[in-house]
Amino acid sequence: MTTGQSRADGVAWAAGVCAGLAAAGVTHVVYVPDNPLSHVLSELEKYPRIRTTLATREEEAFGIAAGLYLGGVQPAVMLQSSGLGNSLNALTSLVLPYQVPMLILISMRGDAGEWNSAQVPMGKAVAPILDAMGIPHTTVSSAEATAATVELMARTAFETRLSGACLLPRRLTAPSVQAQAHA
């Protein structure tokens, strides 16, 4: 797959995600793929102790992750922001009331650098929706900060049993947006 991102620097954020997951003790990632997250999946091949499972839909991913936690695993769910809408009932009637913690990694669409107007309404709604549900969230600011941000959010989630989200903005994950930002 050609994305324009060089292995040397372009996927540093993805390597950071994986390092943060591993440092926080995440051992299973359940996901619905999107293009930026494919870099995380490639990097995860360097972490044989972290298993991955692909779900057909985001709500299903949260259900699988909840079951993993009940079995003693510290899980993460990776999704594109468009899939947060598919996840709300799982979050509000399972993950939150049963206090089942997991790290939620959201690859953002609809934020700065978006080209597809159909992605914009949900992209703009992600943070307010997370706020409305009481799910803590933070936006990863740079490739250098990714590992520490992911680790801190995951550790906090597992210790408090309140799931938390890391948002991966397009200025971090999309090479065309990076090029513009740095021009």
Partner 1 sequence: MTRLDATRLLVRSLGEDAKTPVIASLGHPAYDLFAAGDRPANFYTWGSMGLASSMGLGLAMARPDLRVVILDGDGSLLMNLGSLATIGWTRPKNLVLIVWDNQSYATTGGQDTATAHGADLAAAAAAMGIQQSVTVRTPADFEAAVARTTAMAGPWVIVAKVEESPPASKPPLDCVLIKHRFMAAIM
Collapsed DSSP state (helix, strand, coil) of residue 103: strand
Residue 30 binds partner 1 (CB under 8 A): yes
Comparing CB distances to partner 1, the nearer of 47 and 138 is 47
Crossing angle for the helix pair 12-24 and 143-160, to the nearest 10 degrees: 20
Residue 65 binds partner 1 (CB under 8 A): yes
Residue 178: count of CB within 10 angstroms of its CB: 20
Residue 60 binds partner 1 (CB under 8 A): yes
Provide CB contacts within 8 A for 170, sequence distance 6+.
36, 108, 109, 111, 112, 113, 114, 177
Comparing CB distances to partner 1, the nearer of 90 and 154 is 90
- Shortest distance, position 71 Cβ to partner 1, whole Å: 3
Q: Which stretch binds partner 1 (CB under 8 A): 33-41, 72-80, 121-129, 131-139?
A: 72-80
Query: From the CA atom positions of the chain, what is the Rg in Å?
Result: 15
Contact code string over 74-103 relative to partner 1, x by CB under 8 A? -x-------------xx-xxx--xxxx---
User: Alpha helix locations (H) across 95-142?
Assistant: 120-133
**Do 3 and 35 contact (CB within 8 A), yes or no?**
yes
Comparing CB distances to partner 1, the nearer of 99 and 180 is 99
Using CB under 8 A as the criterion, which residues of the chain lie in contact with partner 1 when the complex forms?
Answer: 28, 30, 51, 53-57, 59-60, 62-73, 75, 89-90, 92-94, 97-100
